[in-house]
Amino acid sequence: MFWSRIPSFAYMTQLYRRRWPALCALLLAEAMNLFDSTVMPIAAPAARADHPMSDTALQWLTNGYTLPFGLLLIAGGRLGDVFGRRRVFVIGMLVFVLCSVLCAWAPHVAVLLTARVVQGASAALIIPQTFGLIRAMFAEDEVARALGTIGPVMALSALCGPVAGGLLTDAAGWRSVFLVNVPLGLAVLAVAPLIREDRAPGRPRLGGLLRGRVFPASLAGSLLFFAVMNGLVFVLVLFLQLREGKTPTGAAVTLLPWSAGLALGSWIAGSVLVPRFGNRVMRLGLVLVLAGLAGIAVSFTAVPLLVAGFGLGVFTVPFFGNALSVAAPEETGWASGLLNAVQQLGATAGVALLGAVFFRFGTSAAVLASMVLIAGVLALTAVMVPERERAPSVGAGGS
């Protein structure tokens, strides 16, 4: 009968109560991906000591993860749309944990690089599901708050990732940075049954989004921004370890102002700036990044690192919500996948481009190249965030 198909009040209440623990599992998965995409520059010199490799192979310890991740994100998002986002999320996490074990065991650099490639591909099954699953579990008035937690979690991961990677590498060797994924991944899998299953209600149409201006401009901005965010960290870590002779922990501690600024900027943007001024605060973030990078080019000290990191956090919090605000429910999977794909391709290109500039011309040249890329993102905000946008009323959005 009709009534038998209506979920019971108790069942709906149970789902309602489960949404926050389920969100924690999704956020932990996001953090694991960011950790694994950023920790390798810290651990790479130690891995190179065990497995002699060229400068190109050293870069591919990072790019071997980010490139397949970026290339397969759209497919991963579409698989979630069709077969169920929770199901694809769980499969991806299982493979991710297994590949982490293989990376830690790797007796040869070829095995390590192969495992990193498969690990990146498995992450492409995990990450595109996050936005759709959050939308499925939260009421309309809570979605913005739930999505707003992603930026601070990314910032916290950026804060803890390099430091934890340095400490682990110094204390237990570079293989330990992969083994830490095992208990974290098992914790995500244990909580995964609390996540509500979700599928796309219809077939997504590629022209819903690409004929507009906001989403294509956001894709271009993502490519340039994350080329700097990932590529410059790679360069600075190599400079500190290969040129300054610092240990992995020493390099991570030196960059702590950058990570701390990112965390602080994300928190202030999510709790104060975005609720009051809207997504236009992205421009403020980019101006601060440029100021910080100019300071780094002159003097590699804590203050410009802090300013640059703070600007990165201010930009990142509103960026994803702004880009996906034009996506319909049936477009969430592939749109999120495409946005993340471009982000990862930008990260890969940034490591390759800025790494090449560093090896040939030095650190200052790499920082100046980063400033040019950030200036390009600032120009794109004229399309990403039109002037006619009104700031939301106090209390809307935020984290």
Task: Look up tokens 């980010």; give the residue.
Answer: 66
- Least trusted range by pLDDT, from 9-18, 22-31, 164-173, 221-230: 9-18
Is 25 a residue whose pLDDT tops 70? yes
Residues 385-389, mean pLDDT to the nearest whole number? 59
Question: Which amino acid, residue 333?
Answer: G
- Least trusted range by pLDDT, from 63-67, 106-110, 286-290, 322-326: 322-326
- Does the residue 393 lie in any domain? no
Residues 344-360, mean pLDDT to the nearest whole number? 86
Q: What is the CATH number of the domain that holds 109?
A: 1.20.1250.20
Question: Residue 131: enclosing H or E segment and its boundaries?
Answer: helix 129-137
Is 70 a residue whose pLDDT tops 50? yes
Residues 317-330, mean pLDDT to the nearest whole number? 76
Nearest residue to 284 via CA among 265, 303, 304 = 265
Domain encompassing residue 141: 18-384
Rounded to 10 degrees, what is the CA torsion of 50, 163, 354, 122? Answer: 70
d(CA 228, CA 226): 5
Higher pLDDT, 11 or 277: 277
Residues 126-150, mean pLDDT to the nearest whole number? 77
- Does the residue 389 lie in any domain? no
Question: Which alpha helices (DSSP H) does 239-331 contain, by range?
Answer: 248-254, 256-268, 274-277, 281-298, 302-324
- Does the residue 47 lie in any domain? yes
pLDDT over 90 for what percent of the chain?
A: 27
pLDDT-derived band at 370, boundaries 50, 70, 90: very high
C-beta of residue 364 within 8 angstroms of C-beta of residue 239: no
Task: Look up tokens 């986002």; give the residue.
Answer: 85
- Does the residue 9 lie in any domain? no
- Does the residue 264 lie in any domain? yes
- Least trusted range by pLDDT, from 137-141, 264-268, 309-313: 137-141
Which two three-digit tokens encode residue 269? 């943007």
How far from each other are the two terminal CA atoms of the chain, in whole angstroms?
42
pLDDT of residue 205: 60
C-beta of residue 120 within 8 angstroms of C-beta of residue 65: yes
Question: Which alpha helices (DSSP H) does 138-280 contain, by range?
Answer: 140-147, 150-172, 176-179, 181-191, 207-210, 214-238, 248-254, 256-268, 274-277
d(CA 350, CA 280): 25
- Least trusted range by pLDDT, from 133-142, 192-201, 278-287: 133-142
Nearest residue to 33 via CA among 95, 106, 108 = 95
pLDDT of residue 155: 61
Give 207-215 contacts, CB < 8 A, sequence gap 24+. 208/327, 208/328, 208/331, 209/326, 209/327, 209/331, 209/335, 212/326, 213/383, 214/322, 214/323, 214/325, 214/326, 214/383, 214/384, 215/323, 215/326, 215/327, 215/335
Report the chain's mean pLDDT, rounded to a whole number: 81
C-beta of residue 126 within 8 angstroms of C-beta of residue 89: yes
- Does the residue 399 lie in any domain? no
Is 29 a residue whose pLDDT tops 90? yes
C-beta of residue 317 within 8 angstroms of C-beta of residue 148: yes
pLDDT of residue 152: 65
Is 274 a residue whose pLDDT tops 70? yes
Question: How many structural domains comprise the chain?
Answer: 1
Is 377 a residue whose pLDDT tops 90? yes
Question: Residue 18: enclosing H or E segment and its boundaries?
Answer: helix 9-38
Is 121 a residue whose pLDDT tops 90? yes
- Does the residue 12 lie in any domain? no
188-202, 212-226, 305-319, 367-381 — most confident range = 367-381
- Does the residue 113 lie in any domain? yes
User: CA 241, 244, 249, 252 torsion: positive or negative?
Assistant: negative
pLDDT-derived band at 34, boundaries 50, 70, 90: confident
pLDDT of residue 82: 84
pLDDT of residue 9: 42
pLDDT-derived band at 28, boundaries 50, 70, 90: very high
pLDDT of residue 1: 38
pLDDT of residue 26: 93
Nearest residue to 151 via CA among 170, 131, 169 = 131
C-beta of residue 249 within 8 angstroms of C-beta of residue 170: yes
pLDDT of residue 207: 61
Residues 100-117, mean pLDDT to the nearest whole number? 90
d(CA 255, CA 238): 12
Express each pLDDT in 241-252 by its tens digit. Answer: 888 888 777 877
With 0-12 / 13-18 / 19 or more C-beta atoms within 10 angstroms meaning exposed / middle / buried, residue 297 is middle
Express each pLDDT in 279-300 by its tens digit. Answer: 889 999 999 999 999 999 888 8
Q: Which distant-in-sequence residues (6+ apart) come within 8 Å of 385 by Cβ?
A: 278, 279, 280, 282, 283, 322
pLDDT of residue 388: 54
Nearest residue to 234 via CA among 367, 120, 127, 114 = 367
> How many other CB atoms are there within 10 angstroms of residue 46's CB atom?
18
Which two three-digit tokens encode residue 94? 């299982």
pLDDT of residue 390: 43
Which two three-digit tokens encode residue 142? 């809570």
Which two three-digit tokens encode residue 75? 């497919």
